[in-house]
Each structure stands twice: as C-alpha cells, then as structure tokens.
Structure 1
Amino acid sequence: MPLHIYGVTDTSVPIPPDRTGRAARPLRQIEGDGLRVLVSEVEPDSRVLREDLMAHAHALEAMAALGTVLPMQFGVEMPDDDTVRHELIESRGGEIRSLLERFDGLLQLTVSVDLNEEEALREALRRDPDLVALRDHVQRASPGERPSSELRLGEAMAAALDVLRGEVGDRVVDALVSVARAVSLGEARGALQAVEAALLVERDRQSEVDATVTSLREDLAPLAALRYVGPQPPYAFLDAASSEVPAWG
C-alpha cells in the first residue's frame, strides 16, 4: 500500500501519541542515518478530502510542538519503505540534515488579521466627514442619479478601507518584528484582510509572542479580529533556505 509522506525530522523527535493521519490511519516512522520520516498508509488513487488536508497539517503541527520537522507538501506519496529510505534518507540526507540544523530550536507561528466590516465602515465614516456627506447624498439622490452616486461612494469606501487595512497591517507587523527572528508576509486574501504574517521564532521566546498577540488582539478589537496558529513547521521559510526545488511544504 502506498505511503503518504508528512515530513522529516531527526530521531530525537517522537511521534505524537495517539495521533493519526489520513483516513485515521496510524502514523509510523521510517528511520535511517539519524533521520525519521513520518508516514501513514493510504489507499491507491484515493479521493482527497478536506479531512485529509487537515490531518496532514495537524500531524505536522503536533510534531512541530515536540521538535524541528521539515514538512512535505500534501500529496507526496511513495510506494514502500525502501523507496522512502532511498529518495529521502539516502539521496537527500545531507540537505535534510543541513536544514534541520538551520531550523533547530525554531518554529513558525502565524498571525492573520481581518477587519470587521461593519466596524471598519463605521471607523471610515467617523474619520472622514466628506465620506459621510457622500453617503447622505446617495440616500437623498433621485433614481436617475443614484447609480453614479453609489459608484462614487463604493469607490470612496474601498479607498478608505484600504487605508485602514494598511494602518492595521503596519501596526501588527511593527509589534511582531521585535519578537521574531524573521517575518514572512503573505498575499492579502480578500478585501478585509489586513495582514497574514508567518513568524520564525525561537522556541524559548514563544511566550513573548503569545503575550504580544494577546495585547494586539485586545487593542484591535472590535475593529479587527486576529487569528493565531502554531506551533507549526517553518513552512514560509523553507524555500529561501533550500538550494533545490523539492516538495517541501
């Protein structure tokens, strides 16, 4: 039966107890030369479900909580244990050990912040009397002039939200850079996302990040909502660290 590959670590990092992988199959390890590959069996040509994606991510997060793990992209499969040993441990063991050493003692934490639409619109109107006047004009406009007035209002509101998103994003990043080894900013998703930041953090400084995030969440409410995920493997930082084009997650 084919093997689904989750990630690679060294033999000091245990498999999380009672953790299962895709289709609730047990996780197991394939070891060699000081490395440990986390795998589970998967049915050939099985249809990918959302639960499979979540199981992949949760297995890696559980490993990351225990030690350094290099994540593989979802969907990497190999036919048997011998292939895993050859393709990962024997052929690429040097690169893997180098990356494990580079990220030793580090983990990723991810912070994403989205504006709360109603509160953001209220704040935009509070800041700009001209925007209030334009809104009031639209409400009084005749049917003939209303479409063009609504278009101008929509454009003005979108511009005001862009300013708010930028301000909130800058505020969040400014607070996080002081507690992170590195910050990687993702592309904004949707019109209300202010920032998505992956933080590379020393394990012994995670409590500082936790405190900073708690303070940010309180300060930003109710204008924006903050989501905080981790510990995670260093997803956002592997491409810059790897000299090859592998299937790192």
Structure 2
Amino acid sequence: MTTPGDVGLGCYVYGIVGADLVVPPDLRGIGDQVVGVAPYGDVAAVISLVDSEEARAGRADLLAHGRVLDTLAGLGPVIPVRFGSVLQNRDAVTSELLEPDHERFQLMLQELTGRVQFTLRARYDEQQVLSEVVAENAEIARLRELTREQPDESTYGARVRLGELVSRALEVKSTEDGRTLLAELDRHVTALNVRESAGIDRLLDVAVLVEQARRAEFERAVEGLAETFAGRARLKLIGPTAPYDFVDAEA
C-alpha cells in the first residue's frame, strides 16, 4: 500500500479539521484517491495521495475538492484550503502547514463550531422586471415605443439612451430589493458576504454563516422571502456547505 511520501506522490490538502473528526472511510477525492487525515495535536489536515508532477485544474478535480469539503462540513467545522494545494509529503503537511499555524487553526475551528454556510441566489424574472421598469419610468416607456420596430440606424441614439436608462433603473431596483433581502437575512445569520453578480436578471448573490441551532428558523425566513418575491424573482438556497466565503487557508 502506498502512502504520502512515496516517489512521485505528494499530499493533496483539502482542509483543516479537528483531530477528533472521523472521516468516512469510503470518502474519495482528487483522482478517486481515498481521503485521510494527518493530525498534529488537536487539529488535522485532510489529505489524499496525488501525483506531485501532475497539474490539478480540471472540473472533475474541482468538484472532487468541493465534495470532500462539503462532506466534512456535515460532520463538523472545517477550514477549506485553497484548491490545488499540494505538499511534498506528510512531514511537510505538519512542518509547513499545521505546526506554524496551529493556534490560528484552533481559533478558526472554535469560531466555526456549530456553524455552516449557505448561499442564496436571487434572480429576477426578466420579463417581469423589465415590465416594472417600463411602467415606473415614463422616459423609458417613451423611448421603448419610439424604437419599437424601427430601423437601428435611424434610432441609434434613442436606443443607446434607452439602454442606459434601463441599466440604471435595474441597478436602483436590484439595490432596493437587495436591501430588503439582506435586512431579513441579517436577522437570522451570524455573518454575510455579498458576492458580485452580473446579468440583466441579477438581484443578489450572498453567502451566509448560520448557526446550526437556528438553521430551521433561517430556512423558514428564506421561504418567506421566496413568497414575498414570488412572480418577480426566483430564490435558490444552496447548502449547507463548507465555509468557503468566511475562512481560507493556504498550503
């Protein structure tokens, strides 16, 4: 049986956990390798074998990395390590990662105990939000009527102006609706991280850290928001996952 440190093999590092966390024996990660732990005191690195000469950047590898971390998050606190982190062997995992940052990892794991991440993605119904913009802005309505079924060449200036006004109106609308969503979410979570998003249907992408004890309360709040925005926007809740947006370690 090969172990990390054999010729050509290194340790791929997924994350940091408490040394008492029991990793499922059938959990597999990058390259379909069995996942194990390298303990140091009361913390441990979650690792698997990897060909140290082989670059890991494919979609399958990224999915495997996330699958391992999300599985661990369901078992206890986990500090994600950046995707693609490989150390030479188990000794290097201890000397270069766990030992230098041992106290920091202890504190981070303590802060994460009993908490999980969810991500909420809110997207407008494009036709509905554009109808609202037209109904609420007389100038947009006028320019829309002016340019309808007219040649692009003869209405170029009006189309440019229409695009600018629509873009500005959508920005104002998403900001206002986003505040409504965030204000309600903030009542049920311990931390928020708003992500950048793009597209005419964008409303909000936000990662939240939730106490396990308040998870049911949080999910009911999201259901209430979905009802509030029904017909105008679709809400998608993803999680629980590892706390990617709130902690990060480098190997």
For normalisation by structure 1, the TM-score amounts to: 0.88
Task: Give 1:59-70 correspondences, 5 Å limit.
Answer: 59-70=68-79
Q: What count of residue pairs does the alignment treat as equivalent?
A: 242
More helix by share: 1
Change (3 A) 1:140 1:192: closer
1:11 and 2:14 correspond: no
Structure 1 residue aligned with 2:136, among 118, 124, 127? 127
Q: Give per-residue Cα distances to partners, 1:101-151, cap 9 Å, x unaligned.
A: 122222222212222322221221232343222211112656653111211
Structure 2 residue aligned with 1:247, among 237, 240, 250? 250
Change (3 A) 1:204 1:117: same
Question: 2:190 maps to which residue?
Answer: 181
Long gaps (5+) in structure 2: 1-8
Task: Give 1:15-54 correspondences, 5 Å limit.
Answer: 15-16=23-24, 18-43=26-51, 44-54=53-63
For normalisation by structure 2, the TM-score amounts to: 0.87
| Identical-pair percentage | 28
CA distance in 1, matches of 2:70, 2:127: 34
CA distance in 2, matches of 1:143, 1:3: 59
* 2:191 partner letter: A
Structure 2 residue aligned with 1:79, among 53, 73, 88? 88
Q: CA RMSD in A?
A: 2.1
Q: Could you say what secondary structure the match of 2:45 adopts?
A: strand
Contact 1:106/1:201 (8 A) holds in 2: yes
Contact 1:112/1:197 (8 A) holds in 2: yes
* 1:7 partner letter: G
Question: 1:223 maps to which residue?
Answer: 232
CA distance in 2, matches of 1:191, 1:139: 20
CA distance in 2, matches of 1:209, 1:13: 26
Long gaps (5+) in structure 1: 240-245
CA distance in 2, matches of 1:109, 1:164: 24
Shift of 1:231: 1.7
Question: 2:211 maps to which residue?
Answer: 202
Change (3 A) 1:159 1:2: same
